[in-house]
Amino acid sequence: MNTHPPQYAIIFAWLLMLNIVGTCSSNIHCNQKDKHALLNFKQGVIDPSGMLSSWSNEQDCCQWKGVMCNNITSRVTKLSLPCYTTLPTYTDKVDKSHCLTGSIHLSLVEFEFLNYLNLSNNDFLAIHFDPVDSQTCHNISADTISRQCVNSSVLAYFDLSLNTNLIIDSLEWLSRISSLEYLDLSAIDLYREVNWLQSVTMLPSLSYLNMRGCQVEDLSPSLQYANFTTLRVLDLSENKFESELPKWLFNLSSGITDVHLGSNSLRGQLPKALLNLRHLESLTLEHNKLNGPIPDWLGQFELLQVLNLQDNMFSGSIPTNLGNLSSLITLVVDRNQLTGVVSERNFAKLSKLKVLMMEISPPLIFDFDSHWVPPFQLGQLCFAFAGPNLPTWFYTQTSIEFLCITYSSFQVEDKFHKFVSRRMTLLMLEWNSIDGDMSEVLLNSTFIMISSNDLKGGLPRLSSNVNFAKLSNNSLSGSISSLLCDHKMLSGKSNLKFLDISHNNLSGGLTNCWKNWRTLIHINLGSNNLTGQIPPSMGLLHNLTTLHLHQNKLYGEIPQSLQNCYSLLIFNVRENNISGNIPTWIAPSAVAIQLRSNQFSGNIPEQICQMPSLIIFDFADNNISGHIPNCLHHMTSFVINNASISKLSFYIYLGDMYYRFEDSLELVTKGQVSQNSRNLHFMTLIDLSSNELSGSIPPQMFNLVGLHSLNLSFNKLVGRIPGEIGNMKNLESLDVSRNQLFGEIPEIMSKLTFLEYLNVSFNNFRGRIPSGTQLGGFNASSYMGNPGLCGPPLTKYCPQDTKSEDVKPYSEDNDGSHFLSWFYIGLASGFVTGFWGVCGAVFFNRKWRHAYFTFIYDLRDRFYVMIVTKRNLFPSSNKFLLWQ
């Protein structure tokens, strides 16, 4: 008799069991204790987007969003409430306005069965991790808590990462969660926690620890042992360690597989004790200050898959023993001080290699056998080499998705054109000496950076696959219509978002083919020889956030169609010949407007005050007249000192990676021209210099407490500087020279402690220059041309500083004749200079006239100051003193 059930009976039994489980699952009733704990958690949370709207009595708590219960016990085992954010193309910061915020209140006794907790990427501000309720463990010793309360938690997975505004002073509470196996605190501010290592080593089951970017400083380098008995992954990158590699690292459990210590300030050489970590699979030490040679014993890590030593101070050659790492997938040694020869011996057994980065300047010498065929097929290749030709093995790599060639010099061949025309994710050819013509090449990669080479000829063609194209700083010539009006390309749909062809020799007009490129978000055509007017078709670029047309030969008025560019943040047309009135339709969300050195006329429209995000307001060197608007205090970015959170960054995604490009502008501040890129978002600037502005400076301007640079020079402004200027605590640069301002310099200006540049010259200021290190620290040129000013740093004494016995009588015979001789010399020189100045102005253009007359007025004022100074040196004892 067969005692085994037939097959159909087994299937029936399984179906019956699944049905029972499904029925139980659909009828799970939340445990009331867990429900109470969840509602307590909700009370401390601010939920701006209603993420927890389902958390109500109308629905069983096991059905609440983010809550998972055990199918049998109905107890809460999982709470997962991460916030999902996306990086917009242009961003001030990651938008977390929809994320959970407030405080985290959790009692692990109430959550007896919770083993998974994920609150990552929210905006929590505080954490209260109570081990038990207040009546159970209140006022008992730490030892008692350790015995009675720690084992109350079964929490194994805890992810609090990317709550970037969360500051935790102490991690002592971690000891109460002894069951933790996975802990992610990355990007949490732990700057004040000095005993972090002691706290995390009290977790006996911990296998994954991520404290990336936590601002911790003490790595305890002299500590011999750290109690990480089960640790497999350790990530302490992007912190503030400034020591050698710690001794306890070399004594970790031999089972550790991943060590990440990149982006710190670690120094010293790699110790051989690292070989204790025999099972190491990933070692990343990039962006540190490690030095000495790359040790050849690294070739003994048989299981090593990732080795990243990028951006350190390693010297010497790449050891050939690295070629023995048969498990190696990623090798990154670029941006070091390595020298010497690289050959096939360095890669002998690397059959699994997918990522190779050797960008080193000056480049390494390649000495590969021309018949050598690598045992690998790379997906990412970045290198620099000393030419004249690319190695033969390069053309055997048919799977490359990321290609970077930098700091190299080689001849461009037809087979190279064919190679780079393949479809890749990234093609980067930068800072090379490539003397070639790519005008017939069709580029097909998603992300293209071919800048800072020596390319000549016309622009290459772009396929519809291209999202990002940067071809700046070459010697490309011809018309941009060859790129923008390519009929073959236009047959497909364009996906181009970023176009930078600045700093070339391109000529002709801006074309009228922009209707075919509506996906564009960033355009930079600056520093070329482009001419003509801005075409109305640019108004069809509704997604445009940045438009740079600076340093060209454009003329005419700005077309009103650009008002359809609703998202425009940066509008830069400086140094052209554009005329007409300042447009009133610029997007209210604009962050930077640069119109300097054009032919704009008329008044400053009051609509400019309706741009609360504006941080760069540069209208200098035009023909603008009228008064300065008195509504500037409505521009909140100037009133509130929050410029440091306004990052002008462009993001483009490359699969699971993204590239961030920070925009730049050339600004005049602190008396000199500077290129502002990475620090642009820290700058707040108003520059209205070299115009025809009249009237007084509106008092509201002195409420701009967030302003860093103010330039009103070379205008016709009158009036006094009010004492309210003391409100501008963040002011670093102030220039009001060449106006008709009068009165005394306010004493309170000496309290502007950030002021680094000051120019009030050639006005009608009088009285003593306020004393103190701030204003007295500037040189005399900051105050010259104000005959009524006295006191340091000027050599002219103020009346109250001059004693009567120090005043010498005036002598008509000697000193008077000396003074008259200087007077006549000045008079004759002024006549000759003025005569030729007037005649010469007839033949010069407007800007030359402006500069020349500025020189004449400067010379006149210098003679005037000299004459007054001479008379002060020889005052008349029986008439009057000139300082009265």
pLDDT in tens, 494-507: 889 999 999 999 99
- When pLDDT is averaged across residues 177-197 and rounded to a whole number, the result is 94
Q: Which residue has the higher pLDDT, 823 or 104?
A: 104
Distance CA 525, CA 847 (A): 24
Q: Give the pLDDT band of residue 5 (cuts 50, 70, 90).
A: very low
Residue 651 has pLDDT above 80, yes or no: no
User: In 3D, which of 58, 57, 54, 61 has the Cα closest to residue 35?
Assistant: 61
Q: Are 369 and 345 within 8 A, CB to CB?
A: no
DSSP 783: T
Q: Looking at residues 374-397, what average pLDDT do you find?
A: 92
At residue 200's C-alpha, the angle toward residues 195 and 206, to 5°, is 170
Query: Where are the domains positioned within the chain?
Result: 590-801, 807-873
Q: What is the pLDDT of residue 136?
A: 44
> b/e map of 830-861 (b: 16 or more CB within 10 Å)?
eeeeeeebeeebeeeeeeeebebeeebeebbb
Q: Is the pLDDT of residue 253 over 90?
A: no
What pLDDT shows up at residue 134? 38
Counting Cβ atoms within 10 Å, is residue 190 exposed (0-12), middle (13-18) or buried (19+)?
A: buried
CA–CA distance, 103 with 553 (Å, rounded to integer): 57
- pLDDT of 300-340, one tens digit each? 999 999 999 999 999 999 999 999 999 999 999 999 999 99
More confident residue, 350 or 150: 350
CA distance 209 to 159: 10
Q: What percent of the chain is modeled with pLDDT above 70?
A: 81
pLDDT of residue 498: 93
Is 844's pLDDT higher than 50? no
**What integer pLDDT is reported at residue 28 of this predicted model?**
66
Residues in the chain: 884
HSE (side-chain half, CA atoms, 13 Å) at 106: 20
Residue 789, amino acid = L
What is the model's pLDDT at position 580?
96
Report phi then psi at 607, rounded to 5.
-60, -20
Collapse the DSSP code of 273 into the 3-class scheme (helix H, G, I; strand E, B; otherwise coil) and give the result: helix
pLDDT of residue 12: 41
Binned at pLDDT 50, 70 and 90, residue 357 comes out as very high
pLDDT for res 27: 60
Contact 95, 84 (CB under 8 A): no
Provide mean pLDDT across the span 23-46. 80
pLDDT (tens digit per residue) in 129-171: 665 443 444 333 333 333 344 445 799 999 999 999 999 999 9
Instruction: Report the C-alpha gap between 405 and 416 in whole angstroms.
Output: 12
Residue 291 in this model has a pLDDT that exceeds 80: yes
What pLDDT sits at residue 680?
67
pLDDT digits (tens, 9 = 90+) for 64-122: 999 999 999 999 999 999 999 876 666 656 789 999 999 998 776 678 899 999 999 99
How confident is the prediction for the chain on average, in pLDDT? 84
Amino acid at position 62, single letter? C
Distance in angstroms (rounded) separating the CA atoms of residues 133 and 113: 16
What distance in Å separates the CA atoms of residue 700 and residue 524, rounded to the nearest whole number?
A: 35
Q: Please, which pLDDT band fits residue 816 given cuts at 50, 70 and 90?
A: very low
Angle ∠(259,263,264) on CA atoms, nearest 5? 90
- Pairwise CA distance, residues 603 & 693, whole Å: 9
User: Picking from 55-69, 479-493, 579-593, which range would have the lowest pLDDT averaged per residue?
Assistant: 479-493
Report residue 838 CA to chain centroid gap: 50
Return the number of other C-beta atoms located less than 10 Å from residue 575's C-beta. Answer: 20
Query: Is 808's pLDDT higher than 80?
Result: no
Task: Tell me the pTM.
Answer: 0.80
**Of residues 537, 522, 579, 587, the one with CA closest to residue 556:** 579
Cα separation values, 191 from 108, 123, 261, 634, Å: 26, 18, 17, 37
Distance CA 293, CA 751 (A): 52
Tokens standing for residue 326: 């048969």
pLDDT greater than 90 at residue 864: no
State which of 542-551, 666-675, 796-805 shows the largest mean pLDDT. 542-551
Label residue 243 by pLDDT band (50, 70, 90).
very high
CB 182 within 8 A of CB 158: yes
Q: pLDDT digits over 620-645, tens only?
A: 999 999 999 988 888 888 887 654 44
Element (H, E) at 447: strand 447-449
Superfamily of domain 590-801: Ribonuclease Inhibitor (3.80.10.10)
